Amino acid sequence: MRKTDSRVSRTKLLLHRSLATLIHEKSYDAIVVKEILARANVARSTFYAHFDGKEELLLSSIRHVLAVARDRLSELSDPVDRLLYFSLPVLQHIETHLQQAPVDAPRLGLRQVHRRLEKVLIEQVEADIRRTPLMRAMPAVPPELLAKHLVTTFLVVVDWWLHRRPVPSAREADDSYRALVAPILRANRRA
* pLDDT digit string, tens, across residues 46-80: 999 999 999 999 999 999 999 999 988 888 888 88
pLDDT score recorded for residue 111: 76
Confidence label for 188 from pLDDT (cuts 50, 70 and 90): low
Check whether 102 has a pLDDT greater than 60: no
pLDDT score recorded for residue 3: 56
pLDDT score recorded for residue 166: 85
Give the C-alpha distances (Å, rounded to integers) separating 72 from 18, 59, 88, 182.
Answer: 26, 21, 12, 19
- Distance CA(141)–CA(158), nearest Å, equals 24
Confidence label for 170 from pLDDT (cuts 50, 70 and 90): very high
Query: Model pTM?
Result: 0.84
Query: Among the residues of the chain, which ranges form H helices?
Result: 2-23, 33-40, 44-50, 54-70, 79-83, 87-100, 110-131, 134-137, 143-162, 170-190
- Distance CA(118)–CA(110), nearest Å, equals 12
pLDDT score recorded for residue 134: 65
Q: How far is CA 23 from the centre of its chain?
A: 14
Buried b or exposed e, range 75-95, using 16+ CB within 10 angstroms: eeeebbbbbbbbbbbbbbbbb
Q: Each residue of 115-169: pLDDT tens digit?
A: 899 999 999 999 998 887 766 667 778 889 999 999 999 999 999 998 888 888 9
Second CATH level (architecture) for the domain 3-190 = Orthogonal Bundle (1.10)
**In this predicted structure, which of 100-104, 138-142, 177-181 has the lowest mean pLDDT?**
100-104
pLDDT score recorded for residue 49: 92
- Please return the burial class of 64, using the count of CB atoms within 10 Å of its CB with bins 0-12, 13-18 and 19+: middle
pLDDT score recorded for residue 191: 47
Looking at the chain, how many residues does it have?
A: 191
Q: What's the mean per-residue pLDDT of the chain?
A: 86
